[in-house]
Amino acid sequence: MKIAIDAMGGDFAPDEIVKGVEEARDRYEGLEFLLFGTEEKVKPLIQNMDRLTLVPTTEEIEMGEEPVKAMKEKPNSSMVQAATAVKNGEADAFFSAGNTGAILASAIFIVGRIRGVERPALATAFPSFGGKNDEFVFMDLGANAENKPSHLYQYGILGSFYAENIMGISNPRVRLLNNGGEEDKGDEVHKAVHQLMKDTDAFNFLGNVEAREIMEGTADVVVADGFSGNATLKAIEGTALTMLDQLKQSIKAAGLRGLLGALLLKPAFKSLKHKLDFQENGGAVVLGVKAPVVKTHGSAKAKAVANSMGQIERMVQENLVGKTADFIKENAEKMKVKKNAK
Amino acid sequence: MKIAIDAMGGDFAPDEIVKGVEEARDRYEGLEFLLFGTEEKVKPLIQNMDRLTLVPTTEEIEMGEEPVKAMKEKPNSSMVQAATAVKNGEADAFFSAGNTGAILASAIFIVGRIRGVERPALATAFPSFGGKNDEFVFMDLGANAENKPSHLYQYGILGSFYAENIMGISNPRVRLLNNGGEEDKGDEVHKAVHQLMKDTDAFNFLGNVEAREIMEGTADVVVADGFSGNATLKAIEGTALTMLDQLKQSIKAAGLRGLLGALLLKPAFKSLKHKLDFQENGGAVVLGVKAPVVKTHGSAKAKAVANSMGQIERMVQENLVGKTADFIKENAEKMKVKKNAK
């Protein structure tokens, strides 16, 4: 199994990317890596070339660049070359910690959509507390700005396949992120999605969920439109950071007493912080394209990179893309009917 | 100054509503209250009738009812009667802790929109940390499900007037909640809103803000479409609750050590919790209607009710509605041009 790696994407690239890949090589015996990157920068970082090939590239896509434009104007970039290797069958999956928009564009336009999938979506495994599983699939996180009811309906299928095959959750419970529990809640798009999901037998739909409750463990897949999914994800991250920061400041302001208390509670704080550091366990996945595409957060260090390789290995081993594609092909007529319903 | 009170709305109505109103009467000398509610339930709760009139009503709108239907089918409910008193000039403002949708419907259809305002919005003062002010106006929180660019543009005006006149922030910094900082981010609606706001001199627009950063104090007014504003608000509340709950559990799991640490950190925890309890300081406001309409959260106790009365007093004293209406009237032509731009 070969993974195409964009060695130049991310705040700590190429150092932490190369380090992470070598860590993954030690951990996962079946993996080979195609490293795409600027030779003089990447080569000196590599410890040994076992199961690892360096493919020299001459361009880099920066974090701030306009995604589609960057992809088109930098055909020789590490990212575009890595995605192209997957397209050409030289690698089974594509990994990057770089510019999210450009990764999405490369996934959609170079790796390509699964036939029948209208819009690929960005998904991540997100922590939940108190339910029967301790994480759930949260999607779309911003791959798709213009969301139609049929797009969100398909996310239910894509997300269920991921939850079942990669996270090992049987008959995943799918919910729709909406601003109320009742089926008539939300704008026209969300009302229509609710009806499509309610009527389907393609997955196990249990109704709406509000943003307040998504971490309570009542869903294994939470489907959102890309705009509010993105806003919800960022609101959660921002709140968690703000609270930890405020707590630190309050502790500081409490002087010696605070210091002592904090020392005693250090393990408790650490356990909470660990649960919230879900991004360390793997990356976000572009679902609905013809091969596994995984994007780790920009500030990923070696460990998060290596963990993402484990995630990719599972996706390839379980043949997630093939299973999803087969289901969509077999259910093409049904999905078309669904689509025409709105 | 007279405030029309829906004494029957809220989880702890009428007890805590009446208690809160009497607390407010002691606190604010200039206030009179019209209490709308079921006589046999409300009358026994009233300590004394000073500056307080009980107007008997025979119906109640429940929390789960369909808003517009409930409003139409229960003309003799405490909520509809209180809103009608404002419409008829018998009261200056309307307060309820009841069914949010029904309060919005009553505000919009009974109290009525300010001429020129396309869609009223639900706004709240929300805590921020580290900026020059410690709170900001966050709107729309879900009054409007179908958001057009011109609606969000007008929210900038409504929010600025509230921040300036009620929160005392001069030249409020307005930002648009969007999924990226650059002006070409977001769906078609948000791109169009950004351009309308960028070109206006009706308020001080400083660009987009992401949900991750809204509590960082870089904005005095954050304008969102009702759907993602609602999702963001709920995500923040849910995260804060989840984190406090998880911390509690981690502390418990740490046994004696945890207990001792928690005891030492109690003041620090309390200060954080207090900052996050923004709903205790007042209610959410329906902006864009012809009189102040304030909605406290359903589980409000007397203190939150009383604090909302102080908020209403400021709104009436500062003539917020009149000032807003005058501005919109004077700028009607300009706003129409803006509207036609998209």
pLDDT in tens, A105-141: 999 999 999 999 999 999 999 999 888 888 999 999 9
State the DSSP string of A122-178. Answer: EEEEEE-SSSSSSEEEEE-SSS-SS--HHHHHHHHHHHHHHHHHTS--SSPEEEEE-
Based on the fold, state whether residues B186 and B47 are members of the same structural domain: no
Strand (E) or helix (H) holding A69: helix A67-73
- Residues A96, A103 contacting (CB under 8 angstroms): yes
Q: How many helices (H) and strands (E) does chain B have?
A: 12, 11
Based on the fold, state whether residues B219 and B157 are members of the same structural domain: yes
Distance from the B155 Cα atom to the nearest Cα atom in chain A, whole angstroms: 19
Based on the fold, state whether residues B204 and B247 are members of the same structural domain: yes
Provide the Cα torsion A162, A165, A167, A170; round to 10°: 100
Based on the fold, state whether residues B141 and B275 are members of the same structural domain: yes
pLDDT in tens, B198-254: 999 999 999 999 999 999 999 999 999 999 999 999 999 999 888 888 888 888 887
Strand partners, B59: B77
Instruction: Give the list of residues 6+ apart from residue B175 with CB closer than 8 angstroms, or none.
Output: B205, B206, B207, B208, B209, B218, B219, B221, B222, B223
Based on the fold, state whether residues B66 and B195 are members of the same structural domain: no
Strand (E) or helix (H) holding B198: helix B188-199
Residue type for B26, please? D
Q: Among B175, B236, B249, which would you mutate to test the A interface (most chain A Cβ atoms within 10 Å of its Cβ)?
A: B236
- Across A52-61, A325-334, B296-305, B328-337, least confident range: B328-337
**In whole numbers, what is the pLDDT of chain A averaged over residues?**
92
In terms of DSSP bridges, do strands B284-287 and B121-127 run parallel, antiparallel, or are they unpaired?
Answer: antiparallel
Which chain A positions have a beta carbon within 8 Å of B179's beta carbon? 142, 145, 226-227, 230-231, 234
Residue B80 lies in a domain: yes
Strand partners, A2: A32
Q: For A243, left (φ over 0), alpha (ψ -120 to 50), or beta? A: alpha
Out of A215, A228, A272, whose CB is closest to B228?
A228
Out of A211, A250, A263, whose CB is closest to B272?
A250
- Residues A7, A42 contacting (CB under 8 angstroms): yes
State the DSSP string of B294-311. Answer: EE--TT--HHHHHHHHHH
| pLDDT string in tens for chain B (342-residue length) | 999 999 999 999 999 999 999 999 999 999 999 999 999 999 999 999 999 999 999 999 998 899 999 999 999 999 999 999 999 999 999 999 999 999 999 999 999 999 999 999 999 999 998 888 889 999 999 999 888 999 999 999 999 999 999 999 999 999 999 998 888 888 899 999 999 999 999 999 999 999 999 999 999 999 999 999 999 999 999 998 888 888 888 888 878 888 888 888 887 778 777 777 777 788 999 999 999 999 999 899 999 999 999 999 999 999 999 999 999 998 876 665 454 444
What pLDDT score was predicted for residue B335? 66
pLDDT in tens, A236-260: 999 988 888 888 888 888 788 888 8
Instruction: In whole angstroms, give the CA distance from residue B38 to residue B23.
Output: 21
The total number of structural domains that make up chain B: 2
State whether residue A289 is helix, strand or coil: strand
Residues in chain A: 342
B261 vs A257: CB contact, 8 Å cut-off?
no
Question: Can you say whether the dihedral through the CA atoms of A39, A44, A50, A51 is positive or negative?
Answer: negative
> Does position A337 have pLDDT exceeding 50, yes or no?
no
What pLDDT score was predicted for residue A335? 66
CB contact, 8 Å: B100 with chain A?
Answer: no
Out of B187, B216, B231, whose CB is closest to A211?
B231
Based on the fold, state whether residues A138 and A63 are members of the same structural domain: no
Burial of A261 (0-12, 13-18, 19+ CB in 10 A): buried
- Residues B320, B312 contacting (CB under 8 angstroms): no
Residue A331 lies in a domain: no
Q: How many helices (H) and strands (E) does chain A have?
A: 12, 11
What pLDDT score was predicted for residue A317? 95
Based on the fold, state whether residues A83 and A22 are members of the same structural domain: yes
Residues in chain B: 342
Strand partners, B293: B94
Q: Among A225, A242, A248, which would you mutate to test the B interface (most chain B Cβ atoms within 10 Å of its Cβ)?
A: A242
Label residue A342 by pLDDT band (50, 70, 90).
very low
pLDDT in tens, A10-39: 999 999 999 999 999 999 999 999 999 999
Which chain A positions have a beta carbon within 8 Å of B262's beta carbon? 261, 265
CB contact, 8 Å: B246 with chain A?
Answer: yes
Based on the fold, state whether residues B177 and B146 are members of the same structural domain: yes
Residue type for B241, please? L
What pLDDT score was predicted for residue B274? 78
Residue B310 lies in a domain: yes
Residue B159 lies in a domain: yes
In the sheet that holds B221-223, the strands lie side by side as: B52-56, B32-37, B2-6, B93-96, B293-295, B284-287, B121-127, B135-139, B221-223, B173-177, B204-209
What pLDDT score was predicted for residue A340? 47
Structure tokens at A39: 């030779």
Name the residue of chain A whose CA is nearest to B177's CA. Answer: A231
Residue A327 lies in a domain: no
Structure tokens at A206: 């249990």
Structure tokens at A166: 């990669």
Based on the fold, state whether residues A83 and A162 are members of the same structural domain: no
- Residues A303, A22 contacting (CB under 8 angstroms): no
In the sheet that holds A204-209, the strands lie side by side as: A52-56, A32-37, A2-6, A93-96, A293-295, A284-287, A121-127, A135-139, A221-223, A173-177, A204-209
- Residues A285, A123 contacting (CB under 8 angstroms): yes
Residue A218 lies in a domain: yes
CB contact, 8 Å: B188 with chain A?
Answer: yes
Name the residue of chain B whose CA is nearest to A244's CA. Answer: B243
Residue B193 lies in a domain: yes
Q: Among B242, B259, B269, which would you mutate to test the A interface (most chain A Cβ atoms within 10 Å of its Cβ)?
A: B242
CB contact, 8 Å: B253 with chain A?
Answer: yes
Nearest to B268 by CA among A245, A236, A237: A245
Which chain A positions have a beta carbon within 8 Å of B241's beta carbon? 212
Name the residue of chain B whose CA is nearest to A245's CA. Answer: B129
Based on the fold, state whether residues B111 and B254 are members of the same structural domain: no
B247 vs A234: CB contact, 8 Å cut-off?
no
Based on the fold, state whether residues A263 and A299 are members of the same structural domain: no
B 152-181: CB under 8 A from A? 177, 179
Instruction: In whole angstroms, give the CA distance from residue B186 to residue A284.
Output: 20
Based on the fold, state whether residues B173 and B259 are members of the same structural domain: yes
State whether residue B59 is helix, strand or coil: strand
What pLDDT score was predicted for residue B248? 83
Distance from the B145 Cα atom to the nearest Cα atom in chain A, whole angstroms: 5
Which chain B positions have a beta carbon within 8 Å of A260's beta carbon? 261, 264
How far, in Å, are B133, B221, B277 from residue B214 at the CA level?
13, 10, 17
Which chain A positions have a beta carbon within 8 Å of B267's beta carbon? 250, 254, 257
Q: Which ipTM did the prediction report?
A: 0.87
Instruction: In whole angstroms, give the CA distance from residue A228 to residue A141.
Output: 8
Residue range of the domain that includes A147 = 118-286
Instruction: Give the list of residues 6+ apart from residue A276 with CB closer than 8 angstroms, or none.
Output: A127, A240, B243
Domain at B153, CATH number? 3.40.718.10
Instruction: Give the list of residues 6+ apart from residue B336 with CB closer than 8 angstroms, or none.
Output: none
Last residue of a domain, one of A262, A286, A310: A286
Residue A338 lies in a domain: no
B211 vs A231: CB contact, 8 Å cut-off?
yes
Last residue of a domain, one of B266, B283, B300: B283
Last residue of a domain, one of B239, B266, B283: B283
